[in-house]
Amino acid sequence: MDQMDRYCVFGNPIAHSKSPDIHAAFAAQTGQQLLYEKRLAPLDGFFTAVRGFMAEGGKGANVTVPFKLEACKVAQALTMRAQAAGAVNTLHFTADGIIGDNTDGAGLVADIVDNAGTAIAGKRVLLLGAGGAARGVVLPILEHCPAKLLIANRTVATAEALVQQFAALGGAGVVSACGFADIEGEFDIVINATSASLSAELPPIPAGVFGPATLALDMMYGKEPTVFMQFAAAHGARTRDGLGMLVQQAAEAFAVWRGVRPDTAAVLAQLRAAL
């Protein structure tokens, strides 16, 4: 058998990762010959783990918690969206060195636009949180020309720093910041990029942000709807969890590495059924 191209996902912990299943499904669907595995990198040994995988002939890697910031430093060059995100979740090993990319935001936008059939253009978008997860999605959202993007965060200064960064990247007049208590009005799309759902907590937001036309999306996912999704649904919104974003960001990484864009619908349905 020919030597297959090898890819992996680095994280710590990593046992729970669904990435190998997703990429195996994409490879089977597109006729690409590749192997994709999970790799547990030591907390103080990410660089060594990446170099080791390259030395073994690896072609690229995904990066998950807690190495997305370190992955910026291991890359020789960053794509525009990785620079904007300040974090890397996809490493592409090329003849010119390691290119760092971030497919999280593109994955979220594809899930909203393609899977949920909801246009972002001209809409009022509320982004909850201003950490790494939120930072990674701002530029891809802005590229779809929303009427307004409000970043709400517990610490307003963190959200305001994001607004200043993205105003220079075409978000001037569109992006603004506030604290959770100061959110006003109803939004077309509400995205929970906080980690509150991990501890079954709800960001302290007014119920009035939701209406019957609102799409409420939580970046977290599980077998049952998150507390945020339950709250949104109780106030009339349509809800989605983060599983579609997970599959879409993987499809984007697959396209970066292989030059082929897989169809995500069947893979998403397969993952959903296995939850």
129 appears as a binding residue in the annotation: yes
| Residues sharing a CB contact under 8 Å with residue 78, sequence separation 6 or more, in sequence order | 72, 88, 99, 100, 101
Q: Residue 193 has what DSSP assignment?
A: -
229 appears as a binding residue in the annotation: no
242 appears as a binding residue in the annotation: yes
Same domain assignment for residues 65 and 109? no
User: What type of residue sits at position 273?
Assistant: A
What range defines the domain where residue 200 resides?
105-240
Token reading at 107: 């994955």
195 appears as a binding residue in the annotation: no
Same domain assignment for residues 121 and 217? yes
Cβ 249 vs Cβ 89: under 8 Å: yes
Same domain assignment for residues 175 and 250? no
The catalytic residue positions are: 68
pLDDT in tens, the chain (275 residues): 457 999 999 999 999 999 999 999 999 999 999 999 999 999 999 999 999 999 999 999 999 999 999 999 999 999 999 999 999 999 999 999 999 999 999 999 999 999 999 999 999 999 999 998 999 999 999 999 999 999 999 999 999 999 999 988 777 889 999 999 999 999 999 999 999 998 999 999 999 999 999 999 999 999 999 999 999 999 999 999 999 999 999 999 999 999 999 999 999 999 999 99
Paired with 148 in beta bridges are 124
Same domain assignment for residues 133 and 179? yes
CATH number where 257 lies: 3.40.50.10860
Indicate the number of domains in the chain: 2
pTM, two decimal places: 0.94
pLDDT for 272 equals 95
CATH number where 155 lies: 3.40.50.720
Same domain assignment for residues 56 and 25? yes
Across the beta sheet with 175-178, what order do the strands follow? 175-178, 148-152, 124-128, 189-192, 215-218, 238-240
Same domain assignment for residues 31 and 141? no
Same domain assignment for residues 28 and 96? yes
